[in-house]
A and B are shown apart, each in its own frame.
Chain A
C-alpha cells in the first residue's frame, strides 16, 4: 500500500493522518465522555492507525517511473474487499432487525439494540458501506480503462477510500449511541457530513483530473454516469444536511429547514441519493462491464444519450411522490407523480440498451453466470 506512494505522497499522508488524529483528540476533549467524545476517540484511532501504516512503509524504496505506464489498481482491490465486509455486516444487521419484528423482546433492556437504532445501521451499511465502496472502487477501474489514463496520483484514491470509510464508521457507530439527524439516509450528524464533503471534493477532483489526462477524444458513457453520481450526490448532500449545531463541542444539530420545506428537501434528497447511488452508479458499472463481458459494443449511442439525460433530468423531480396526500402543496405532489411516470421512458431505454447489447452474445448468457447476473440486473 505505502510502497506504491512516492516520497512526497508519504509525507503528505503522514501530515493528513496527524491532522486527523489531532482533530479526533480535540473532539474527544470537547465531548467530555459523551457520544461526541467517543467519536473523537474513533477519529483519533483512525488517524493513529494510518500514521502507523505510513511509517511502517516509509523507508521502502520509491516506485519507479515504469509505474506510470500501468493503471493504478491497488486501491481498487482494497475498496472491493471493504465493500464485501460492509455487505456481510449490513445484511447481518438487516436479518437481525427482521427478527426483532418477530421477537421484539430481544433488546437486552438497552437502547442500542432496539429496532429504531439498528434500522439505520442496516440501511447505511448496505447503501453507503457496501454500495458506496463498490462504486468508488469500480469508478477508479473504469475511468482509467475507458480514458486510457492512469490515476493522476497515488495518494488521492487512498484518501478517498479510507476517508469515506471513516465517514461510514462514524455514521454507523453513531446510530448505536443514538446520534442521528433522523433524516432517512442522511442520519449522520453535522461533523460527519462536513468530513464527507471534504472526501467528496477530493474524489471529484481526482475523477476530473483523470478524465483530463485521457487519451481518448470522447468521454465514455460509463463516466457520464459516474460523474452524475459524484456531482448530484454532492448537491443533495450539502443542501439536505444544512443544519446548525448547538455548539462545536456537541454532536447535536438542528436542521435549517422545518416542516413542509424540510420534508420536501429530505425526499428530494432521499429519493435521489438512492437514485444516483443505486441507479446512476450501477448504470455506470453496467455500461463498462456488460459490453466488456459480452464482447459486444453498446447497442445504441443515441439510446445512451437519451437514457442518461432523461434519468439525470427527470429523476430529480420525483422525490415528492414520497409525500402523497400529506401537507405538501398539491402542485408539487402532481409534478412528482407526473415525472415519476415519465421516468419510465429513460429507465426502460437504459435497460433496453443493455439487453440489446447482448444481441449476438446470448449463447454466452447461457453458459456465463457473471453475464447472466448482469442480464438479470439490467432487467430489474
Chain B
C-alpha cells in the first residue's frame, strides 16, 4: 500500500484525480439518494406555495439574518415537541429555496410560529422586543415600519422559484405585484385575486395595522404568520401517532 503511494505521489495529475475521487464519495453516498429515495420527503397534496407577500417577507427574514438566531426545525425530542408542537417534517420545507433550518437558537424556534400571536403582538415585538419580552436580546426592527415594500420585481422572484421547482402558475407570476399589495390591503379589489389564486384560507389583512401602504413590516409579519401553516401534514401525523398509542 505504501509502495503504491510512493509511486502515486510522483505524479501530480494522478494525485489530483485521486483526491477528487476519494473526497467525492461521502457526498455522493449521502446526498444523491436524498433526491431519489421517495420516503425522504413525505407527501402533502394540500400544501400551498408562498404568496408573493409572504415570499417577500421571507426574503426580508433572510436579508436581516434572522436565521442566525432562530431555527425553523423542531427536533424529534420531547422537550422540543412539548415547547413548539409536532416535530418538523421534511415536506414542510419542500418549497424553501434555501431552507432556513438554522444552526443555533439564541432565540426560540419559529417553525410553528404562525397563528401563535396576533399581528399587533408581532409588530410591537419587532419594533421593541424588550417591551414584550424583557430578557430578549433581539435587535429593534422599527425601521421596517418606515420602509415601503419593493413589490416591483416579485414576478421575477416567482419565475426564478418556478425554475427551481416550485409550482407557481402563469397567473401567479403575472399578478405577483398586485397580489402582494392586495394581500395587505383588504379593501382593495386586488385582494380578491389573492384568495382566488392561493386559496380561500389565505390571510388577507393589513398586517402592520396601516392599510394605506404596504411596508416591509407587512411582508415580514405575513411570513411569520404562515410559518408551519403551508400544510397540516405534521399535525395529521402526530394525531395519528397519538391514536396508535391509544391516547
Chains A and B belong together in one complex:
yes
A residues whose Cβ falls under 8 Å from a Cβ of B: 100-102, 104-105, 107, 109-111, 114-117, 119-120, 175, 178-184, 208, 211-212, 217-219, 224, 227-228, 231-232, 235, 239, 243-247, 250, 252-266, 268, 270, 301-302, 305, 309, 312-320, 322-329, 332, 335-336, 339
A257 touches B97 (CB 8 A): yes
Residues of A within 8 A of B142 (CB): 109
**Given A235-B24, A247-B156, do A258 and B96 touch, yes or no (CB 8 Å)?**
yes
Among A232, A259, A312, the residue within 8 A (CB) of B93 is A259
Residues of A within 8 A of B66 (CB): 116
Least distance between B219 CB and chain A CB atoms (Å): 14
Among B39, B65, B80, the residue within 8 A (CB) of A180 is B65
Chain B CB within 10 A, most for which of A181, A327, A336? A327
Among A178, A231, A332, the residue within 8 A (CB) of B63 is A178
**Given A231-B23, A265-B31, A268-B27, do A246 and B94 touch, yes or no (CB 8 Å)?**
no
**Which 8 pairs of residues, A with B, have the shortest CB-CB distance?**
A116-B65, A316-B26, A259-B93, A178-B63, A325-B75, A317-B26, A255-B98, A114-B139
A110 touches B143 (CB 8 A): yes
Considering the chains assembled together, what is the distance between the CA atoms of A318 and B27 in angstroms? 10
A-B contact pairs, 22 of them (CB 8 A): A101-B137, A104-B139, A111-B143, A115-B65, A115-B68, A115-B137, A116-B68, A119-B68, A217-B10, A218-B9, A245-B160, A252-B157, A258-B96, A259-B95, A262-B93, A265-B31, A316-B24, A316-B26, A317-B30, A326-B88, A328-B90, A332-B30
Q: Mark B1-39, 1 if CB is under 8 A from A, else 0.
A: 010011001101101100110111111011100110101
Find the B residue at minimum CB distance from A35.
B63
Among B31, B67, B69, B76, the residue within 8 A (CB) of A325 is B76
Chain B CB within 10 A, most for which of A102, A175, A253, A312? A312
Residues of B within 8 A of A115 (CB): 65, 68-69, 137, 139
Find the A residue at minimum CB distance from B20.
A231
Residues of A within 8 A of B100 (CB): 182
Q: Mark B123-142, 1 if CB is under 8 A from A, else 0.
A: 00000011000001111111
Residues of A within 8 A of B141 (CB): 114
Find the B residue at minimum CB distance from A332.
B30
A320 touches B98 (CB 8 A): no
A262 touches B98 (CB 8 A): yes
Beyond A116-B66, A184-B103, A261-B31: 15 further Cβ-contacts under 8 Å? A178-B64, A180-B63, A219-B12, A219-B15, A243-B164, A244-B164, A247-B156, A254-B163, A255-B97, A256-B164, A302-B2, A312-B23, A325-B77, A329-B37, A335-B29
Q: Does B122 contact A (CB under 8 A)?
A: no
Least distance between A209 CB and chain B CB atoms (Å): 9
Among A104, A268, A326, the residue within 8 A (CB) of B101 is A326
Q: Does B89 contact A (CB under 8 A)?
A: yes
A246 touches B139 (CB 8 A): no
Considering the chains assembled together, what is the distance between the CA atoms of A114 and B129 in angstroms? 13
Q: Does B41 contact A (CB under 8 A)?
A: yes
Considering the chains assembled together, what is the distance between the CA atoms of A212 and B98 in angstroms? 41
Find the A residue at minimum CB distance from B65.
A116
Q: How many residues of B contact A (CB 8 A)?
A: 77
Considering the chains assembled together, what is the distance between the CA atoms of A327 and B103 in angstroms? 14
**Given A211-B12, A262-B98, A332-B34, do A232 and B19 touch, yes or no (CB 8 Å)?**
yes
Least distance between A72 CB and chain B CB atoms (Å): 19
Least distance between B160 CB and chain A CB atoms (Å): 4
A224 touches B139 (CB 8 A): no
A266 touches B26 (CB 8 A): no
Considering the chains assembled together, what is the distance between the CA atoms of A259 and B92 in angstroms? 8
Q: Does B73 contact A (CB under 8 A)?
A: yes
**Given A254-B164, A325-B76, do A266 and B139 touch, yes or no (CB 8 Å)?**
no
Q: Does B153 contact A (CB under 8 A)?
A: yes
Least distance between B128 CB and chain A CB atoms (Å): 9
Least distance between B170 CB and chain A CB atoms (Å): 17
Least distance between B44 CB and chain A CB atoms (Å): 11
Residues of B within 8 A of A239 (CB): 27
Q: Mark B95-115, 1 if CB is under 8 A from A, else 0.
A: 111111101001000000000
Considering the chains assembled together, what is the distance between the CA atoms of A335 and B27 in angstroms? 11
Find the A residue at minimum CB distance from B4.
A305
Residues of A within 8 A of B19 (CB): 224, 227-228, 231-232, 312
Q: Mark B147-189, 1 if CB is under 8 A from A, else 0.
A: 0000001001101110111100000000000000000000000
Among A102, A228, A247, A258, the residue within 8 A (CB) of B98 is A258
